[in-house]
Homo-oligomer: A and B are copies of this chain.
Amino acid sequence: MKIMKKIDFDTISVVVLEEVKTYTGEEIEPFWAFKMFDIQKDSIIGFNGPMNVKIENMKDLKDIKEEQDIKTPIMSSDALNFIVEHFDNPDLKMIYLRQRILVSIAKDVIENYSGLKLKKSGDDLYFNEKKLSVCIACRGVSSGKIHLGINVKSDFVPTHVSAIGLNDIGLSNVLEIMEDIAVEYANEMSKIERDIRKTLPLF
């Protein structure tokens, strides 16, 4: 897993993998970016490949409740995957706010590439009522993490979910889209850091 492109912002690193990699749910564990890529900043890692998450690696209790008699609940034959990690604040809500920002950025980039209008509901993206993405945010003791998976293909998604993929809406340059989303997220986080440092307090 060494063929990659790395772009460094002040407080966050972007890594885009150039080889296919499956998302198994282990990538959501803390320090995965350090273990794999020696990154010692906050980070967003993008990679393209299947999603195949076992129930024991799932973090959303609602999904776990609903899916517990289904063998592989989060599954896609081809997806864009993003793994985000932030170490700056122990509050769980912080990583959830960032999750919504990441999903909004993904929505905006895909809309710009496709000329279509998507719908965001919470942390999910839809086109024509069909589900385009899965997303989770969670925290360990030291860091908050996000996984966002955007279907490239829609086959192999569990049949009870009406799904759609980027290919289905006419997008094939998915690696370019992946990099744009990751870079725009890093850019937004960096700009917030700068904005904090130029705003007078209230009295």
Contact residue among B104, B140, B142, B145 (Cβ-Cβ distance under 8 Å from A196): B142
A199 to chain B, nearest CB (A): 5
Which stretch in A116-124, A151-159, A164-172 binds the other chain? A116-124
Does A3 interact with chain B (Cβ within 8 Å)?
Answer: no
Contact residue among B62, B111, B112, B139 (Cβ-Cβ distance under 8 Å from A201): B139
Copies of this chain, complex-wide, total 6
Q: A111-B117, A140-B141 are in contact. Are A201 and B10 (CB under 8 A)?
A: no
Contact residue among B11, B35, B89, B191 (Cβ-Cβ distance under 8 Å from A122): B191
Contact residue among B62, B101, B117 (Cβ-Cβ distance under 8 Å from A198): B62
Q: Which residues on B sit within 8 Å (CB–CB) of A199?
A: 59-61, 92, 136-138, 142
Does A126 interact with chain B (Cβ within 8 Å)?
Answer: no
Which residues of A line the B interface, CB within 8 A? 10-11, 28-31, 34-35, 39-42, 58-62, 65, 87-94, 96-98, 100-101, 104, 107-108, 111-112, 117, 120, 122-123, 136-143, 145, 188, 191-203
Q: List 11 A-B contacts (CB under 8 A).
A: A35-B65, A39-B197, A42-B197, A58-B200, A91-B91, A92-B196, A94-B97, A100-B101, A100-B104, A136-B199, A141-B141
Closest 5 CB pairs of A and B: A140-B202, A141-B201, A40-B194, A97-B97, A104-B104
